[in-house]
Amino acid sequence: MARKKPTGKLEFVLFNVTYDDGSMTSNRKVPATEVGGLEGDEPARAVIEAQDREISERSGRPRGRIKALERASSR
């Protein structure tokens, strides 16, 4: 019987996002390779904004501007 090839495990950092209109989304996934370094969590904003654009294109409902980002507590 053939063995399964090991897959590279992609790590994520979870963020809670608050929008200008007061709405909130929890546990938004951002690849761990995108955050950290000198910029800290700021690159996560661009990733989440890109996710929001894709979601709004598919749903036809625009998302508001991001007011605040904070890392979700680890489980």
At residue 1, the pLDDT reads: 61
Q: Say what the pTM is.
A: 0.77
Q: Which spans in the chain are helix H?
A: 42-59
Give me the mean pLDDT over the 47-71 stretch.
93
At residue 28, the pLDDT reads: 94
| Among candidate residues 36, 52, 53, 35, the one with its CA nearest the CA of residue 44 | 35
Q: What percent of the chain has pLDDT over 70?
A: 85
Domain boundaries, the chain: 12-71
Q: What is the pLDDT of residues 14-41, one digit of tens each?
A: 999 999 999 999 999 999 888 877 778 8
Q: How far apart are CA 40 and CA 55, in angstroms?
A: 25
At residue 41, the pLDDT reads: 83
